[in-house]
Amino acid sequence: MTDDTRPYGAQEPQPQQPYAHPQPPAYPPQQPVTTASGVTVWPGGGAGGGHGGGTPYAGFAEPQPPAPAPGHRSGHRARKPGVLLAAVAIVAALVGGGSAALVGELTNRGGGTSHSTPVQNASSKSAGGVAAVAKAVSPSIVEIKASTTSGQSTGSGVVITSDGEIITNNHVIAGADTVQVAFSDGSKKTAKVVGTDPGKDLALIKVQGASGLKAAALGSSGSVKVGDEVVAIGSPEGLTGTVTSGIVSALDRDVTVSKEEGRGGQQRERGGPQWPFEFGGNQYNGDTGSSRTTYKAIQTDASLNPGNSGGALINMNGEIIGINSAMYAPGSGGGSGDSAGSVGLGFAIPVDTVKADLAKLRAGGTGGGNS
């Protein structure tokens, strides 16, 4: 038995409870957020101007009670996670729209490695390109009507200087007494033959009294590749300014045409030969005769018909890359004058050949011409 020296009636001293300090926040306090209406929202559900002036960081500034005994449920501690979650939810709701906008902006700008680049439809691009090329180059393409003793031939030409120089095929104006030029605006002028080169099937004519004409840009046929998109402009069957399109089908095709006057005329009113030429050992559109010449041509599937001869083959930059000169039409071979229309086998004299021959043509060329 243990002696108890305490006075009678004295109570056993209770252990002193230490003062509980508030627990530090698990994460750095979040800053208040101001809504679009001007209300400041504090994390934890508080709002500036309320709750007695507002507690800067709700849920963390007030002292915490001592830890409850085991098995005792504290309502304050049970609510604490909910308060924190509410604060996070409020902040997320306020900045969520801005985050979505930021993500959208980064996506549109291609800020990430997974962004997609818009791809333009090739067909749409091609259609738009043809329209642009036609609009830009059509004023430089003319219709040519050459009158001879045997009738009238119709072809096309390309304006190469503002004062009226025009390139065409020799077989369009061969043997012509008079040459008339019709422009895209409907105006008509008389032209004279400056020079011809039957060996290359080229001719240069010049419109009388012309100035301020729109000259076509001469490109380079040396840079042309098989598969390049091209546009053809001319006056098939007398339909001035007709536009067709296609691709370059092949390069350096051997094409043979007549050098004799009158044999190459197109659309003779009296039923004469139409655009005769030889390709692959066969003759088409009539007899080319015994005097003929062969040149390396650009092959295209752009639709060409009688009357396109002397017109332009154009790249998608609006530059002339060839002078259309021959086309294959089924049913028109073997000396027949009939034409079943284009089947996508057309040929053009490369523009580099034209540029190399210009000085010779301006000096009168070979084979003569009317002046």
The CA distance from 314 to 158, in Å, is 11
The CA distance from 2 to 145, in Å, is 143
Tell me which residue of 73, 79, 43, 85 sits closest to 61, measured CA to CA.
Answer: 43
Beta bridge partners of 168: 203
The CA distance from 201 to 180, in Å, is 19
Tell me which residue of 137, 128, 87, 88 sits closest to 313, measured CA to CA.
Answer: 137
**Do the Cβ atoms of 277 and 295 come closer than 8 Å?**
no
Tell me which residue of 216, 227, 235 sits closest to 355, measured CA to CA.
Answer: 216
Active site residue 201: yes
**Which residue, chain included where needed, has tokens 């692959």?**
280
Tell me which residue of 45, 48, 46, 29 sits closest to 37, measured CA to CA.
Answer: 48
**Do the Cβ atoms of 205 and 362 come closer than 8 Å?**
no
Tell me which residue of 339, 267, 342, 260 sits closest to 304, measured CA to CA.
Answer: 342
Among the listed residues 138, 140, 309, 339, the single catalytic one is 309
Positive or negative, the CA dihedral 35, 37, 41, 45 is: negative
Determine how β-strand 165-168 pairs with β-strand 40-41.
Answer: unpaired
Among the listed residues 138, 153, 201, 221, the single catalytic one is 201
Helix or strand or coil: residue 256? strand
The CA distance from 279 to 333, in Å, is 11
**Do the Cβ atoms of 258 and 264 come closer than 8 Å?**
yes
Active site residue 171: yes
Among the listed residues 153, 171, 249, 303, the single catalytic one is 171
Question: How many CB atoms neighbour CB 134 within 10 A?
Answer: 19
Query: What type of residue is 307?
Result: G
The CA distance from 200 to 296, in Å, is 10
With b for 16 or more beta-carbon neighbours within 10 A and e for fewer, the 214-244 pattern comes to: ebbebbebeebeeeebbbbbbbbeeebbbbb
Backbone angles phi, psi at 197, to 5 degrees: -140, 85
Active site residues: 171, 201, 309
